[in-house]
Chains A and B, each alone.
Chain A
Amino acid sequence: MGLGVESVFGDSVVTTKLDTAVNWARSYSMWPMVFGTACCGIEFMSVAAAKYDLSRFGAEVVRFSPRQADLMIVAGTISFKQAPVLKKIYDQMCEPKWVISMGACACSGGFYDNYTTVQGIDEIIPVDEYIAGCPPRPEAVLDAIMRIQKKSEDESIIKERAKNFKGYLDA
């Protein structure tokens, strides 16, 4: 058992910065809240399934409760009717939280340039990473998760994230 480091360090004390330790733990235990509404949600099922295996990145604990999640993956079209629901769920997630916008619809409305579709979820909630594609291949989703991991490693735990964001549903 163990990673092999115990043979070098024994049971001695290792010192590091708190930021580094916490971020290291965070980045390898992302708990995604999948806001899957459409086609991208089906592709996310593939990401989680055996072949692409999201659990290699420590992000397989998919929660559908915002209180238990720190990574929101918006997978699918967001209509104006859905927008307040998305906003509410994002607000219910505890800090720190990251958002991935998966697929053309979530990023920009996709080819649904019409009366019902929100032209990108960044009009409502802040977004950290965008994934292109309609829907993106599972590899692209994994890539975005790795980018989020990288991002979370570089941050300080004392700083609040995305506090200056104001979407049109914010009063």
Chain B
Amino acid sequence: MLKPDMIVNPSELKSTIKNLKDKESFTLLLDITAIDYLKFPVKQPTRFALVYILRDASFKKSVTIKTYVDDATLSVPSLTDIYFAADWAERETFDQYGIKFEGHPNLKRVLNHHQFEGHPLRKDYNITDRQICTETEGLMDEMPKLLTSKGYTQQEQDDMMYLNIGPSHPASHGTIRNFLALEGETIKACVTEIGYLHRGFEKSCETHTYSQIIPYTDRLNYCSAILNNIGYCKTIEEMLDIQITDRAQFIRVIIGELSRIIDHIVCNAANMVDLGGLTNFWFIFSARDKAYDLLSKLTGARLTNSYTRVGGLEYDLYDGFAQDLEDVLKAVEQGTVDALSLVEHNRIFHDRTQDVGVITKEFAISAGITGVNLRAAGVNYDIRKTNPYYHYDSFDFDVVLGSHGDVYDRIMCKFEEMRQSIRIIRQAMKNLPDGEVNVYAPDVLLPAKKDVYGNIEGLMNQFKLTFEGIKVPQGEYYSATEAGNGELGFYVVSDGSGTPYKVKCRPPCFYALGAYSKIVEGGMIADAVVTMASMNFIAGEFDR
């Protein structure tokens, strides 16, 4: 049975995790979530359990720690003094499940509206119970507290200018609200509020079959939808103990890396628009449009592809794919060269990006930042290298590292990662094996149409899989892939039926955004804008 790695008592939770951090160097808190066992078929000691997912300093090992929360108090000690990342993670768990974290400095809702009543991810909360909100959040409960903690007197606070950027602002690239306290143009304090695009992904997962969830994962990070498909399907396949075919693995690598390229294109193009350079946008976006033509030919959709299936892929590659792909890659290379030729040696670009929005290594790790944002700070962590999947260890590519962790590093790392992805794609296309793209597994994959219409077994199989879904063995499991923004993890709890009991997505930019306010404090407003663009916040991902 799939189980968490450790089960501890709530009273020993904090000391256990502190020990893990200090003695066994589990320095990265990946995620915190809760499980409501109210309707679980197997009786559990208490109604709620908390799950903590940690990763060690070598980034090779991860550990899941579970603790059963006392039904009477519904509270556990907070970890905010051990990990910075625990701040928002605990707030989210409180918001969604109503579990209290003692000692948390600011335990309030993060995804749902402050007028919202109840806790939506509890099993006794009906999914369609909508609540109309009429007020906007003032955030004046957080700001004076923050400013006082920074040593500003009441008089100084009164003299400051308070400014909202967002939730609907062109510079916020999505629906993020930042509430700033300004002295001139310098940001003295920043409070970030999210939840404006909270679409109830996790609750929706609990009412859909495993295959029906794939389109929902598309809409997490809609700039690289296929990478989310892959992350989710890989988790379910590992739970089912299915090894997909070599051809499917290679195609997933090719299309996944292409999605990574598109993701980085959007981020860098938008970033340079924020810096005032619209020409770069035209240069690299034309390559992206070519890539979308290829994806719509292959998958039938431009943006939200839903290309993978549990056990394989929806379609095999079409005839002439290799040539189309090569054209796209050439266009990307040309676009990159053209765009870089405008900024690479541009004094204004350097002044605007270098030493701006610096993220230090230590802070990045403590805040749970992963992906390019972490690598730009000089930390060598890429799941494709540390825990290779889909033959990534057989491809020749480099992990791109920055040195300073500023905006410049992040932009340049993304450009270089695009080149590395092109390298991977070319190698994979060269060695692409023949064979099936789907495994033979009648209890997982839909039968061929000729069987559905031709014989009763095929027809019944189609019905069973459509209505009941794929039966995943009971238990819980965490798996992660390297998505466009970093470690995209799925923590899935199965009760043995065709619908997941719970799906928790570990969105990489939720944690990056949690750290954002600390990164921009002390800088200028204009710098905050480019810092935000360079960190690639995708609203669908952090809000889910």
- Flag if B282 contacts A49 (CB, 8 Å): yes
Within 8 A of B (CB), among A24-65: 35-39, 41-43, 45-46, 49-51, 64
Task: Judge whether B286 is part of the interface by a CB distance below 8 angstroms.
Answer: yes
> Chain A interface: which size bin?
35 or more
- Flag if B136 contacts A112 (CB, 8 Å): no
- Flag if A43 contacts B203 (CB, 8 Å): no
Q: Determine which of A45, A51, A115 lies in contact with B200 in the assembled complex, contact meaning CB atoms within 8 Å.
A: A115
Q: Determine which of A82, A89, A105, A112 lies in contact with B196 in the assembled complex, contact meaning CB atoms within 8 Å.
A: A82
Task: Judge whether A91 is part of the interface by a CB distance below 8 angstroms.
Answer: no
Residues of chain A within 8 A of B159, CB atoms compared: none
* Contact residues of A: prevailing secondary structure: loop
Q: Determine which of A37, A38, A49, A117 lies in contact with B285 in the assembled complex, contact meaning CB atoms within 8 Å.
A: A49
Closest CB in chain A relative to B112 CB, distance in Å: 7
- Flag if A115 contacts B303 (CB, 8 Å): no
A105 and chain B: residue at smallest CB distance: B199
Within 8 A of A (CB), among B225-274: 266
CA distance A50 to B280 in the complex (A): 12
Within 8 A of A (CB), among B283-325: 285-286, 288-289, 292, 302-304
Given A46-B289, A50-B286, A112-B200, decide whether A35 and B168 contact each other with a Cβ distance below 8 A. Answer: yes
CA distance A38 to B303 in the complex (A): 12
Task: Judge whether A160 is part of the interface by a CB distance below 8 angstroms.
Answer: no
- Flag if B289 contacts A80 (CB, 8 Å): no
- Flag if A43 contacts B204 (CB, 8 Å): no
- Flag if B196 contacts A64 (CB, 8 Å): no
- Flag if B133 contacts A83 (CB, 8 Å): yes
Task: Judge whether B15 is part of the interface by a CB distance below 8 angstroms.
Answer: no
- Flag if B266 contacts A169 (CB, 8 Å): no
Q: Determine which of B128, B223, B281, B540 lies in contact with A113 in the assembled complex, contact meaning CB atoms within 8 Å.
A: B128
CA distance A97 to B127 in the complex (A): 35
Residues of chain B within 8 A of A168, CB atoms compared: 132
Given A37-B175, A84-B133, decide whether A79 and B286 contact each other with a Cβ distance below 8 A. Answer: no
Give B193-233 as 1s and 0s: 1 = Cβ < 8 Å from A's Cβ atoms: 00111111001100000000001100100110000000000
Residues of chain A within 8 A of B174, CB atoms compared: 36-38, 41
- Flag if A111 contacts B131 (CB, 8 Å): no
Residues of chain A within 8 A of B113, CB atoms compared: 80-81
Task: Judge whether B23 is part of the interface by a CB distance below 8 angstroms.
Answer: no
Chain B positions near chain A (C-beta within 8 angstroms): 112-113, 120, 125-136, 167-170, 174-175, 195-200, 203-204, 215-216, 219, 222-223, 266, 281-282, 285-286, 288-289, 292, 302-304, 539-540
Chain A positions near chain B (C-beta within 8 angstroms): 35-39, 41-43, 45-46, 49-51, 64, 76-77, 79-86, 89, 105, 111-117, 119, 134-135, 137, 168-169
- Write 8 A-B pairs (CB below 8 A) sorted by A numbering: A35-B168, A38-B174, A38-B540, A46-B302, A50-B282, A113-B127, A113-B128, A116-B199
